[in-house]
Amino acid sequence: MKNPINGRAAKPLSPFAYLGVLPFLLFALAFMLLPSGALLFGAFQDAHGRLTFANIVALFDPSILNSYAISIQVSAATAVGGVVAGFLLAHAITMGRLPKAVRSFVVTFSGVASNFAGVPLAFAFISTFGRVGMVTFILKQLFGISLYDSGFNLYSFWGLTITYIYFQIPLMVLIISPTLDGMKREWREAAENLGAGAFRYWLRVGFPILLPSLLSSLVLLFGNAFGAYATAYALTGGLINLVPILIGAQIRGNVLYNPNLGYALALGMVVVMAVALAAYVAMQRLTAGWLK
């Protein structure tokens, strides 16, 4: 590989260079890689340490497959919702000709809201849409509408979805705003010059350029929701069988104690996340040159 500045071949990396990053590498190894590796290996072992595929097979138990299905559905739903709504909001504050203060406020709020996830968020939604929540209460008292009798239930798939969206949308806003900043105003103007209105511009130029970023955001949001434990736990108390909840139950030994199955569940989750991350990285590479 040639040094772009003076054309000479770059120096090969000396072993000395690794010295400075050694602490980090050791730490990452000890507290991230090895534990995860141990977990993943455990998926292929039985209670006595012997090699087996029984745990993997056990993953295909209908109730477990159902968990994966629900997790994937919730994650997909909130990822799509987050991407669409987040994009519209991000577009409004970056390209919508609004005062700078609005953007600043939305970005700050997004920083807060995307960190607000977990127990407090669950509490907030219970206080709002729960059986005795404020909105439920007000709808009953003022409008005579009984939310729960109409079939709504916060502690369900849809309840989980609208709760998750609360941190998915801000995350999307934070991710996609810099990308939208990179969209040159002149593209829109050039397209207008050539006769294209807003619809045609977005159809032929805008969205094609943004597509890799949108897809990679979709994948990131999916991963974010898929791995979420705290919010789900605090909201549903373990009622809904999402994969993280299942894993949590295994860790605490609340169910038929089979840690190896838990490891297999974790393996399944890591596989899903790894695929998502690989897709994300691949799509980021695609956009590399376009939005400079």
Partner 1 sequence: MRQRKFWSWLWVALAFTYFLLPLVATFLFSLRGKKGVLSFLAYRRVFDDPQFLSTFGFSLEMAILTVAAGFLLMVPTTIWIELKAPKLRSLIEALSYLPFVIPPIVLVFGLIRMYSRPPFALVSTPALLVAGYIVISFPYMYRSISAGLQAIHLKILMEAAQSLGASWISAVLRIVLPNIRSALLSAALLTFAIVIGELTLAVMLAWPAFGPYMALVGRDRAYEPAALAILSFLLTWLSVAVMHAVTRGGERSDSGAGAVH
Partner 2 sequence: MAFLELEHIEKDFGAAPVVSDLSLDVEEGEFVSFLGGSGCGKTTTLRMIAGFEVPARGVIRIDGQDVVNVAARHRNIGMVFQNYALFPNMTAFQNIAFGLSIASMAKADIRIRVQEMLALVHMEEFAGRYPQQLSGGQQQRVALARALAIRPKMLLLDEPLSALDARIRTRLREEIRQIQRAVGITTVYVTHDQEEALSISDRVVVMDRGRIEQVGTPKEIYDTPASRHVASFIGTLNMIEATVRDAGSGVLDVGGVAIRTAAPIRAAGGTVIHAAVRPERISPSTGAAGDNRLSGSVTETLFLGSTVRLVVHAHGRRLSVDLFNDPDLPLPQIGSAITLSFAPEACIPIYASSAYRPE
Q: Which of positions 99-118 make contact with partner 1 (CB under 8 A)? A: 102, 104, 106-118
Contact 229, 248 (CB under 8 A): yes
Q: Does 9 bind partner 2 (CB under 8 A)?
A: no
Q: Output 133 or 212, the one with its CB closest to partner 1.
A: 133
- Encoded one letter per residue, x for contact with partner 2 by CB under 8 A and - for no contact, window 131-170 reads ----------------------------------------
Question: Cα-flanking dihedrals φ and ψ of residue 22, to 5°?
Answer: -60, -50
Phi, psi for 234 (deg, rounded to 5)? -70, -30
Shortest CB 188 distance to partner 1, Å: 10
Q: How far apart are the first and last CA of the chain?
A: 25
85 binds, among partner 2, partner 1, none (CB under 5 to 8 A by kind): partner 1
For partner 1, the closer of residues 166 and 209 by Cβ is 166
Tally the C-alpha atoms within 13 A of residue 124's C-alpha that lie toward its C-beta.
13
124 CB-contact burial (10 Å; exposed 0-12 / middle 13-18 / buried 19+): middle
Stretch near partner 2 under the rule CB under 8 A, chosen from 4-12, 79-87, 133-141, 202-210: 202-210
For residue 68, which of 264, 255, 286 has the smallest C-alpha distance?
A: 264
Q: What is the DSSP letter of 152?
A: -
| Least spacing, CB of residue 96 vs partner 2, in Å | 17
286 CB neighbour count, 10 Å cutoff: 13
Q: Which residues of 56-79 are buried (b: 16+ CB within 10 A; e: fewer)?
A: eeebeeeebeebbebbbebbebbb
Question: In whole angstroms, how close is the CB of 135 to partner 1 at the nearest point?
Answer: 6
Range 47-76, binding partner 1 (CB under 8 A): none
Please say which residue, 140 or 200, places its beta carbon nearer to partner 2.
200
User: How far apart are CB 99 and partner 2 at their closest, in Å?
Assistant: 13
Segment near partner 1 (CB under 8 A); pick from 64-72, 141-149, 150-158, 168-176: 168-176
Rule CB under 8 A: say whether 183 interacts with partner 1.
no
Stretch that binds partner 2, among 65-73, 240-248, 258-266, 283-291 (CB under 8 A): 283-291
